């Protein structure tokens, strides 16, 4: 089948354009709302990858065990622990002839009918903004799916990010700021805007000499997103004493000193219960499982995980 026709068909299914909401790890949400989900509700979930396919032995060491009721590799616990996606990139060269790497990313449209994720036209994003810390200089790479990536010898358009070991860095990169690496001499040229029009995944890649390097992805969004708004110290300070407590099926709140709304969300990000944080909530109607509680108000903003039995 003609590859261009295949991509075009997938784009039509995946491009019902809604806004890309800037993802903030401090919200406790495990899913990036890309606005381009293909209807599978599988877009925006974080995944990790490495160099094992080429003979490397690199891995990410996570601060807490991964997993939820639906997937052993779900990063919900990491998001809650780190207010982002954080870990240690342990780079081990193994049999590689180049520097080892690991990466963290999310799919833009979600899983397709085949083995690969669907592409989507993300041109309207204008580019990508990101806030992060990293012991080494990472790259922001545009994944185009296994077929296209292979065709261009994995010389995917990317943008370089600065090392940010001691303070959070924020950068907004237009699509024109992404380019294929200089070592690529192949005939299939793909620039940033072209890659954006058939984007499969956004990837945060850490590649360096062997060693252990810490990182934390705190926010990601469209070019004009509010990625810089990752550390509202006054809100976090007020929220530090606030908490949600579950007793049986009754959810109550303490330390909330201003008007605030409480939402209970399932692991698909759907709000299944909503109320005022000044009073308790009865969750008797919900199924057993893992849920996220988010409380937001003028002087409080926090998230907790709860388990209903």
pTM assigned to the model: 0.71
Please, what sign has the CA dihedral across residues 189, 194, 199, 204? Answer: positive
The pLDDT confidence band at residue 241, using thresholds 50, 70 and 90, is: low
Q: Facing residues of 202 across strands? A: 106, 142
CATH of the structural domain 233-308, one choice from 3.10.310.10, 2.60.40.3080, 2.30.40.10, 2.60.40.10: 2.60.40.3080
pLDDT(12) > 50:
no
Tell me the average pLDDT of the chain. 87
* Domain locations along the chain: 3-222, 233-308
The tens digit of pLDDT for each residue in 180-207 reads: 999 999 999 999 999 999 999 999 999 9
First and final C-alpha spacing in the chain: 49
Nearest to 47 by CA among 105, 112, 110: 105
Q: Which residues of 83-119 are buried (b: 16+ CB within 10 A; e: fewer)?
A: bbbbbbbbbbbeebeeebbbbbbbbbbbbbeeebbbb
pLDDT at 234 over 70: no
pLDDT confidence band for 306 (50 / 70 / 90): confident
pLDDT in tens, 63-121: 999 988 888 999 999 999 999 999 999 999 999 999 999 999 999 999 987 768 999 99
pLDDT at residue number 13: 41
Q: Is 30's pLDDT higher than 70? A: yes
Within this chain, domains 3-222 and 233-308 share the same CATH topology:
no
* Fold of the CATH domain 3-222: Jelly Rolls (2.60.120)
């Amino acid at each position: 089948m003609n590859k261009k026709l295949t991509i075009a068909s997938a784009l039509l299914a995946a491009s019902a354009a809604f806004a890309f909401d800037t993802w903030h790890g401090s919200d406790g949400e495990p899913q990036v709302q890309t606005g381009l989900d293909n209807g599978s509700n599988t877009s925006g979930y974080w995944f990790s990858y490495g160099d094992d396919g080429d003979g490397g032995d690199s891995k990410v060491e996570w601060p807490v065990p991964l997993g939820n009721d639906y997937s052993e590799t779900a990063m919900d616990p990491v998001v809650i622990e780190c207010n982002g996606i954080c870990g240690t990139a342990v780079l081990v060269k193994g049999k590689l002839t180049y520097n080892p790497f690991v990466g963290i990313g999310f799919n833009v449209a979600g899983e397709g009918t085949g083995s690969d994720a669907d592409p989507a036209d993300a041109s309207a994003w204008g580019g990508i903004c990101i806030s992060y810390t990293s012991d080494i200089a990472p790259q922001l790479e545009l994944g185009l799916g296994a077929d296209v990536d292979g065709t261009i010898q994995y010389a995917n358009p990317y943008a370089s990010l600065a090392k940010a070991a001691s303070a959070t860095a924020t950068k907004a990169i237009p699509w024109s700021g992404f380019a294929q690496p200089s070592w690529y001499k192949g005939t299939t040229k793909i620039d940033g805007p072209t890659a954006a029009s058939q984007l499969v995944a956004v990837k945060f890649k850490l590649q360096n000499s062997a060693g252990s390097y810490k990182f934390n992805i705190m926010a990601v969004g469209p070019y004009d997103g509010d990625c810089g708004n990752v550390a509202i110290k006054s809100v976090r300070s007020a929220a530090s004493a606030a908490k949600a407590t579950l007793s049986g099926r009754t959810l109550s709140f303490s330390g909330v000193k201003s008007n605030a709304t409480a939402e209970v969300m399932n692991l698909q990000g759907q709000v299944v219960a909503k109320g005022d944080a000044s009073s308790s909530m009865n969750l008797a109607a919900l199924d057993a499982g893992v849920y996220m509680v988010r409380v937001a108000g003028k002087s409080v903003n926090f998230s907790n995980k709860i388990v209903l039995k």
